[in-house]
Amino acid sequence: MDLYEHQARELFDEYGVSVPEAEVAGTSKEARLIAERFGGPVVVKAQVKTGGRGKAGGVKLAAGPEAAELTARQILGMDIKGHTVRQVMLARPVDIAEEYYVSYVLDRATGGFLAIASAAGGMDIEEVAAERPEAVARVPVDPDRGVTAAEASRIAAAAGLPAEVGPVLERLWAVLVKEDAVLVEVNPLVRTTDGSVVALDGKVTLDDNARFRQSRWGEGDTVRDSELERTAAAKGLNYVKLDGRVGVIGNGAGLVMSTLDVVAGCGARPANFLDIGGGASAQVMADGLSVILSDPGVESVFVNVFGGITACDAVAEGIVQALGAVRLTKPLVVRLDGNSATRGREILEAAGHPLVEQVPTMDGAARRAAELALTG
């Protein structure tokens, strides 16, 4: 479960990481009152569980209480990548001298953690990593030893960050361990003009497996930010909203994850993650399709099924029945492979739906779905 920025900020503060003074408001009136208490300018920040708020117009400087109220009115209710802004955080502005990037991420490949740090903070770290990989330091962290003072200095030095960042890295590690997080990211961590180091933004992802001992943030993600995710959750679907144009449905989380990668590799962006699991229920397929088709960003849908215990003919019948229940408004590309694929393909072919195309390979089908999304 992801925490909101204001929750991450609260944790950082508790662990001795400097953060700007800030308060949360749910209405523009409240925003005004907070700004009055602060006196002077404030930064108004959308509280949504997605990055890139700045670029989307969800982070704005307001000169005083009146401007804060107006800005909050603009930002509240805004849609940022499918997330509706219900709260804003008002923060006392900080004078930035330098912006850094620091994070700890779980590295499932090694069963350890990775410290990622860069002196080029404030911007999209994936972009920096792609364009200037040498500007991003990646230092493995042994979870048993953790981030000691010596380790913290090593990470800071590897990224070319000043020594003052060391203690902050130690405290952020403590947040990760004690709060059962699998990700702690600060972008930007800034050095202010008066020389202190302040976390200006924060993303913390808690380990859902540890939820039983981390009751503080409530029953987890019962509060969903995306309407589509809410609808999907109500239907019992394993759905996560993403920002692209290719709707994705697959059976098995691993297959769906790799489908997202393959779609991205074809130059399009997936619109969602949806794992319909084993079984071939027409109801689940219909529910999945209807959620995906109500995403306004979707231009094509890619159904990627590898028949295992559930054979492809049963899945194909499920798809045909679902198409009787849901009006298909976008092209559907289906790839059936594995157990009884031939029979499954025949069933779909016989149904002869004008918007359904079959492509036998995963790569080919992803390419076709991407192409349809880009021209759609």
Residues in 30-49 that interact with ligand GDP by CB under 6 A: 43, 45
CB of 136 to Mn ion, least distance (A): 16
99 annotated as a binding-site residue = yes
Residues in 238-277 that interact with ligand GDP by CB under 6 A: none
166 annotated as a binding-site residue = no
Nearer to ligand GDP, 5 or 313 (CB): 5
Under the binding rule (CB under 6 A), the answer on residue 225 touching ligand GDP is no
What torsion do the CA atoms of 215, 218, 221, 223 make, to the nearest 10 degrees?
Answer: 180
CB of 136 to ligand GDP, least distance (A): 16
Site stretch for Mn ion (CB under 5 A), options 74-82, 104-112, 196-204, 340-348: 196-204
Taking the CB of residue 307, how many other CB atoms lie within 10 A of it?
A: 21
Residues in 161-190 that interact with ligand GDP by CB under 6 A: 187-188
Catalytic site residues?
Answer: 101, 185
94 contact choice in ligand GDP, Mn ion, none (CB below 5 to 8 Å, kind-dependent) = ligand GDP
Nearer to Mn ion, 9 or 171 (CB): 9
CB 311 within 8 A of CB 336: no
The answer to whether the peptide bond before residue 41 is cis (omega within 30 degrees of 0) is no
CB of 179 to ligand GDP, least distance (A): 20
Residues in 50-69 that interact with ligand GDP by CB under 6 A: 51-54, 59
**How many Cα atoms sit within 13 Å of 10 on the Cβ side?**
11
Under the binding rule (CB under 6 A), the answer on residue 292 touching ligand GDP is no
Under the binding rule (CB under 6 A), the answer on residue 82 touching ligand GDP is no
CB of 198 to ligand GDP, least distance (A): 9
Under the binding rule (CB under 6 A), the answer on residue 289 touching ligand GDP is no
Choose, by CB under 5 A, the member of 28, 71, 103, 187 that binds Mn ion: 187
CB 199 within 8 A of CB 9: yes
45 annotated as a binding-site residue = yes
Choose, by CB under 5 A, the member of 30, 69, 170, 201 that binds Mn ion: 201
40 annotated as a binding-site residue = no
71 annotated as a binding-site residue = no
Under the binding rule (CB under 5 A), the answer on residue 5 touching Mn ion is no
CB of 52 to Mn ion, least distance (A): 8
Residues that bind Mn ion (CB under 5 A): 187, 201
Residues that bind ligand GDP (CB under 6 A): 20, 43, 45, 51-54, 59, 91, 93-94, 96, 122, 187-188, 200-201
